[in-house]
Chain A
Amino acid sequence: MLELINISKTYNPGTVNEMCLFEGFNLDVPDGEFVSIVGSNGSGKTSLLNIICGSIPIDTGDVRIGGNSIKKLKDFQRYRRIGRVYQNPAMGTSPDLTLLENMSLADNKGRTFGLSAGINRSRVAFYREQLAILGLGLEDKLHEKVGSLSGGQRQAAAMVMSTLTPVDFLILDEHTAALDPKAAETVMELTDRIVKEKKLTAMMVTHNLRYAVEYGNRLIMMDKGRIVLEKSGAEKADLKVDDVLKVFTDISIECGN
C-alpha cells in the first residue's frame, strides 16, 4: 500500500508567485492497483508523481510504502522499488549508449555497479526475447545507439527497461503523449501487459481520456490539487469517456477556460 498522508506543498513561498498546490492532500493506493490520473495542466498530476518519487520536497505530511515512511529517502533511494517512464522518450534511456548497454544497465538496477564487465553476454538472449515481444524489431538493433532510434522505439525500450528488474511500483508520467497514435497504442498495450504480468502497482498520468477509461482499475481526476472525481471497481468498468469528458469540461468552464 502506498499512502500519501496530509500532504501540503506550496511553490515559491513568500513571493508574489506563491502558489499553494496541495493542502492536506490524501491518497491511498492499495497493492496491485492500476490508477489512471487525469486533469488539466497545472492540476497537480505530475507534482503528485514527483512527490512520491522524491523529485520535489513536501512542506508537511508523509509518504509511506507498506506503512513505512519514505519521506527521508532521497529520490535515487526511492527508485529501488519504483520504475518510472517519462513523457519525453529521451529521458528513459541513455542516447549515446547502445541498446545493449542500456539494457545491461537496467538489468543491474539494485545491484552494485562495480568493475565487472558492463555487459553480461549470457543475458543477451534474454534481452532479445524481451525486446522481441514489442514487435518493433528492436531485438536486431542491440548494437545501435539508442539516440538513433525513433521516439516510439525509445519509449518502448524505456518501458521494458523500467521493469526489467523487480520493482513494486510503476510510475508513468504521460508516457504516451509524445508518440504518434500507433506507437502510443503499442506502448500502452505493452504497459497493460507488463503491469498485469508482473502484478505491479501502477500510477499513470495521461491526457488521453480513452486510455484512462480503458486501462487500469481506478480513475482519478484532479483539479487545483484536489481529487474531483474518483471511480474504481465496477463503477470504473462502466465508465464512459463521455462521462469523464463532461466533468472535465464543467471544471474548465468554472475556471473560465
Chain B
Amino acid sequence: MIWMSVFFDLAIGTLTQGLIYALLSYGVYITYKILDFPDLTVDGSFPLGAAVTAVLLTHGFDPYLTLPVALAIGATAGLITGLIHVKLGVRDLLAGIVTMTALFSINLQIAGSNLIVERAVDTIFTARPTMAVIGALPLIYRKLIISLVMAVVFKLLLDSYLKTKNGLLLRAVGDNSLLVTTLAEDKGRLKIIGLVISNALAALAGAVVCHEQRSFSSTMGTGQVVFGLATVIIGITLFKKLGFVKGTTAVMIGSILYKASIQAAISLGLPANLLKFVTAALFLMILVVGSRQKGGLKDA
C-alpha cells in the first residue's frame, strides 16, 4: 500500500501549494476582478517577497518577521506601479511591465543570485513557536496547517476590508470610475491602494513559497500573473451562479484546483519542459469557457 501513502502525501502537498498560492490569487483578484487593472507587477513582486525572505532567513532573521517585511516591500512595488500609472499617465499594462522588468534586476541585487536556505535555518514551519503548538505533527502537515491558517486569515481580512467604506469605493472604481469622481473622490488614489494591497499579497505568497521550498530563484516569478488570472477566472466561473460563495473563497478554491490539475498532468508523465505550454493551453481553455458563459448569460 505504499503507492496509497505516496498519493496521499502528494495530495497534501498539492493542497498546501494551492493554499499558499491562494495568497497570490487574492492579489490578482483585487487588481484584475475588482479594479479591472491587468497588473503584471505580480511577476516581479512575487519573487521579490521570496528574495527578501531568503536573504533575511540566511542572515538569521526571525522567520515570522519575514512575513510583514515581505508585505511591506511588496506594497512598495505596487505603489511604484500605481504612481507610474496615475502620476505619469502610463497605461495600466505598460506600467506593470516597467516595474516587473526593473524588479527582475532588483531581485537579483537583493539575493545576489539564486539562493538556497540551509537545512539548519529555521522557517515558519520549523521555528520554535510552531513546534510548540503543532510540533508533534510531521512537516507536511505543519506546512498544510500553517498555509491553511494564512489563506483563511488573509481571506477574512480581505473580505472585511471590502465591506468598509474604503473597500466599497475600491469596488466602485473598477465598476464605474465615473461614479467615484462624481462622489468627489480621487480614483487614481484608490487604484494605487488596490495595487499596494495586491502586490503586498503577491510578495507574501513569494515569502511563504521561499519558506516552503527553502530557495529563491530569479525566474520563479515567470508566469505567476497567468497563474493568478487563471485561478481568478476558474473560481469566478465555477461559483458565480452560487451567490453565497464569496469571490475570495471562489479564488482560493480556484487556486487549489489549478495546482491539482498541474500536479495531475505531471504525475501522468508530462515532461517538465512542456509545463508552460500546457499552462498556456489550459489558460486559453479557461478564457474561452469563461467568455462563452458570459456571452450565454447576455443572450439569455
Contact = CB atoms under 8 A, between A and B. Distances in A.
Contacts of A114: 164-166
A27 interface: no
Interface string A100-118: 0100111011101111111
Interface stretch (B23-31, B102-110, B170-178, B248-256): B170-178
Nearest to B189: A76
B182 A117 contact: no
Contact of A110 (B165, B184, B187): B184
Interface in A86-112: 86, 90-97, 101, 104-106, 108-110, 112
Q: Is the contact region of chain B dominated by helix, strand, or loop, or is it mixed?
A: helix
A46 B108 CA distance: 53
Interface string B184-208: 1111000000000000000000000
B171 A94 contact: yes
Contacts, number: 78
A198 to B, nearest CB: 17
B163 interface: yes
| Residue in A75, A76, A110 with the greatest tally of chain B CB atoms within 10 Å | A76
Given A91-B176, A95-B175, A76 B185 contact: yes
Interface in B229-286: none
A105 B168 contact: yes
| Residue in B166, B169, B178, B187 with the greatest tally of chain A CB atoms within 10 Å | B178
Given A97-B175, A109-B183, A114-B165, 15 more contacts: A92-B182, A94-B179, A95-B176, A96-B171, A97-B171, A104-B168, A105-B172, A106-B183, A112-B165, A113-B165, A113-B166, A113-B168, A113-B169, A116-B164, A116-B165
Interface of B: 161, 163-169, 171-172, 175-176, 178-187
